[in-house]
Amino acid sequence: MTFLGLMIPLLPLLGFLVNGLLGKYLPKGSAGWIGSLSVLASFVCVLLIFKDLQAEQAISIDVFNWIALGDFSISFGLWIDALTMIMLMVVTGVGFLIHLYSIGYMHGDEGFTRFFTYLNLFIFFMLLLVMGSNYLMMFIGWEGVGLCSYLLIGFWYKNEPFNDAAQKAFVMNRIGDLGFLLGMFFILFHFGTLDIQTVEQLAPGLASNGGLIMIITLLLFIGATGKSAQLPLYTWLPDAMAGPTPVSALIHAATMVTAGIYMIVRSNVLFALAPDTLTIILWVGVITSLFAAIIGLKQNDIKKVLAYSTVSQLGLMFVALGLGAFSSGIFHLVTHAFFKALLFLGAGSVIHALHGEQDIRKMGGLKKLIPITYITFILASLAISGFPLLSGFFSKDEILAHAFEQNKIVWIVVAVSSFLTAIYMFRLVFLTFFNNFRGSDETRSHIHESPWTMTFPLVVLCILAVLGGLIGLPAIFHVSHWLNTYLASVTEPSAALIHHGDGISHGLEIGLMCFAGLAAIVAIYLMYRKYVMQKAIPESEESQQGFIKAIANKFYVDEFFENAIVNPVFKLSEWFGTFFDKKIIDQIVNRTATTITSGGQALRLSQGGNTGTYVLAMVIGIVVLFIIRLLI
């Protein structure tokens, strides 16, 4: 199994190397298949391991001893346990489907080979992130996926705003990464190791030093807010939609943005020891989930709606973590990966059919023209809205039940935001697929269903989005919750540390479920009445006023950052550039350099080439050393 475990990250790396180094010599279009098949092979390795690995087992692979400084060492090690397995299946499984989809979507793009090169590199780093046995390995993956995200957002680099979006994503992530790094330094300093399992075992012993654990977890959480787009560092994610749509599906919905969730669950003992941090996580999650859902209500770009929805759903996962329900967070992560990847791919299929049109006001009536996309998209929307018995229903419900049990206010806010989810999703669905087409006739005549490489992933993901809830059926169905059982070995150590209630009664749980399902149905009906029966179309931004205008402008968060941070930094930078750098630093540097080089010149003259002088110098040297020796 060690061999298979090594193969999981190595195969995509191989795909990256082949595409990156030999891409121009290979026949055109083969890059897509090389990229896809390498991820598929990796997925097969994951399944083979999954077949044999018991839930409570773990594989530890020490590839080599990487850094050895004195008595401290870091190994280049991989660690595969139940949590890793779940993440691996999502990353390679969903990753493969999106690779396949990209073959159709990116067909004919001049950067086709480059695209798959980046995509494979991304998968490699993502696998390092989830498989790393220590925080440094995780950090390599963490930085690596950030790099690939940057490269792929700015994939169409000839378009200036896209480059800006890429830079914004990079900078925002760097802020978070600083938190992660500092957290790592603290861990290293106080635990003397970065190995995650060792840290988890040592942590309870250091719990008396409550402040320390809290600082570490808070710093790690700052890292998570950057990567997983939480308040206040979320603004890069909507802009990241500048990248090709499969990138949005893979990186900005299914995998990379969930890295923060994974990291917290991976260190769940640390976090369980810091109840204050958990409270902060809870409230950041609650506010983000509501905030992003409200902004999502008024967006008119099909991908922007989905982007804010992702931010909101990630917030929901953080709520679960904040409540100490780590496996519920992972459950929602998995189902979200299914339906959100599907939504993005569906949106990509729509954009593909409309030759790049992303404004939902110029769509409409597409359900007959692209039926497969329509059916899968609507099922995914039902799933994310929490329509009864679909995957999102179960995973969301579990979080809602935990919230109801622990904190009623949280429950209310989360319930509202999940009601809003149904609203903005079905506003999107009805505007896109129902009524009549609102674009030009020219465009309409070209609308066509996508090729099989694109529709096949849609169908597979659709099945997963519908049935994905089966991995976590609640107790009222009289079956065991498979995911909870499977993850027990990972979450158990922390479960003992967090005081959980006795759980809510079955009757109450059924009641909550009915309530949530009903709310979703009501929301869908409201949207149906407004956008299908009354045929409303969102107005342009200029005519909006008051609160609605604030929503449409995303609460002016970007403008706030612009004026409060970016502009002052630019001003300061200008001052440093013109005065401080030129007048002070340059002078110091230049003076030092001339002094040193003239010193070199002077010393060089001692090298005259005369052997006699050299021998004399040696004799003098020996004598001087003797004198020094005798004097001290």
Instruction: State how far the Cα of 30 lies from the Cα of 24, in Å rounded to an integer.
Output: 10
Q: Which residues contact 578 (CB under 8 A, 6 or more apart)?
A: none
Q: What single-letter amino acid sits at 240?
A: A
* Near other proteins in 528-587, by CB under 8 A: none
Using DSSP, state whether 60 is helix, strand or coil.
strand
Sign of CA dihedral 149, 154, 156, 162: positive
Q: What are phi and psi of 87, to 5 degrees?
A: -65, -40
DSSP code of 274?
Answer: -
Q: Which is nearer to other proteins, 73 or 480 (CB)?
A: 73
Find residue 61's DSSP bridge partners: 78
Q: Indicate whether 597 belongs to the interface with other proteins (CB under 8 A).
A: yes
The residue with tokens 């569906």 is 346
Residue 49: name the closest of 38, 37, 61 by CA: 61
Rounded least distance, CB 589 to other proteins, Å: 12
Q: Which is nearer to other proteins, 446 or 604 (CB)?
A: 604
CB count in 10 Å sphere of residue 349 = 27
Given a contact cutoff of 8 angstroms between Cβ atoms, the answer to whether 155 and 243 are in contact is: yes
Given a contact cutoff of 8 angstroms between Cβ atoms, the answer to whether 296 and 309 are in contact is: yes
Using DSSP, state whether 357 is helix, strand or coil.
coil
Query: For 400, what's the count of Cα atoms within 13 Å in the CB-facing half-sphere?
Result: 27
Instruction: State how far the Cα of 5 lies from the Cα of 20, in Å rounded to an integer.
Output: 24
Residue 119: name the closest of 138, 92, 159 by CA: 92
* Near other proteins in 598-617, by CB under 8 A: 599-601, 603-604, 606-607, 609, 611, 613-615, 617
Find residue 75's DSSP bridge partners: 65
Choice from 65, 440, 563, 578 touching other proteins (CB under 8 A): 65
Q: Which is nearer to other proteins, 66 or 186 (CB)?
A: 66
Three-state SS across 488-546?
HHHHHHHHCCCCCCCCCCHHHHHHHHHHHHHHHHHHHHHHHHHHHHCCCCCCCHHHCCH
Q: What single-letter amino acid sits at 86?
A: I
Q: Which is nearer to other proteins, 65 or 563 (CB)?
A: 65
Q: Which is nearer to other proteins, 409 or 620 (CB)?
A: 620
Rounded least distance, CB 628 to other proteins, Å: 6
Distance between start and end Cα atoms, the chain: 65
Q: Which range in 41-49, 232-240, 251-259, 618-626 contacts other proteins by CB under 8 A?
A: 618-626
Rounded least distance, CB 595 to other proteins, Å: 10
Rounded least distance, CB 629 to other proteins, Å: 6
Choice from 27, 70, 211, 507 touching other proteins (CB under 8 A): 70
Q: Indicate whether 588 belongs to the interface with other proteins (CB under 8 A).
A: no
Choice from 412, 476, 508, 620 touching other proteins (CB under 8 A): 620
Choice from 3, 69, 160, 445 touching other proteins (CB under 8 A): 69
Give the contact letters, 14-53, x = binds to other proteins (CB under 8 A), - = no: ----------------------------------------
Give the total of residues touching other proteins (CB under 8 A).
33
Given a contact cutoff of 8 angstroms between Cβ atoms, the answer to whether 80 and 59 are in contact is: yes
Q: Which is nearer to other proteins, 137 or 403 (CB)?
A: 137
Q: What single-letter amino acid sits at 385?
A: S
Q: Which is nearer to other proteins, 141 or 348 (CB)?
A: 141
Q: Indicate whether 3 belongs to the interface with other proteins (CB under 8 A).
A: no
Given a contact cutoff of 8 angstroms between Cβ atoms, the answer to whether 461 and 376 are in contact is: yes
Q: Is 161 exposed, middle or buried (0-12, 13-18, 19+ CB in 10 A)?
A: exposed
Q: Which is nearer to other proteins, 205 or 600 (CB)?
A: 600
Q: Which is nearer to other proteins, 588 or 596 (CB)?
A: 596
Q: Which is nearer to other proteins, 137 or 401 (CB)?
A: 137
Rounded least distance, CB 18 to other proteins, Å: 20
Using DSSP, state whether 106 is helix, strand or coil.
coil
Rounded least distance, CB 630 to other proteins, Å: 9
Choice from 68, 409, 565, 585 touching other proteins (CB under 8 A): 68
Choice from 389, 533, 588, 596 touching other proteins (CB under 8 A): 596
Q: Which is nearer to other proteins, 480 or 613 (CB)?
A: 613
Q: Which is nearer to other proteins, 560 or 614 (CB)?
A: 614
Choice from 66, 186, 437, 515 touching other proteins (CB under 8 A): 66
Residue 321: name the closest of 217, 235, 240 by CA: 217
Which residues contact other proteins by CB under 8 A? Answer: 64-70, 73, 596-597, 599-601, 603-604, 606-607, 609, 611, 613-615, 617-618, 620-622, 624-626, 628-629, 632
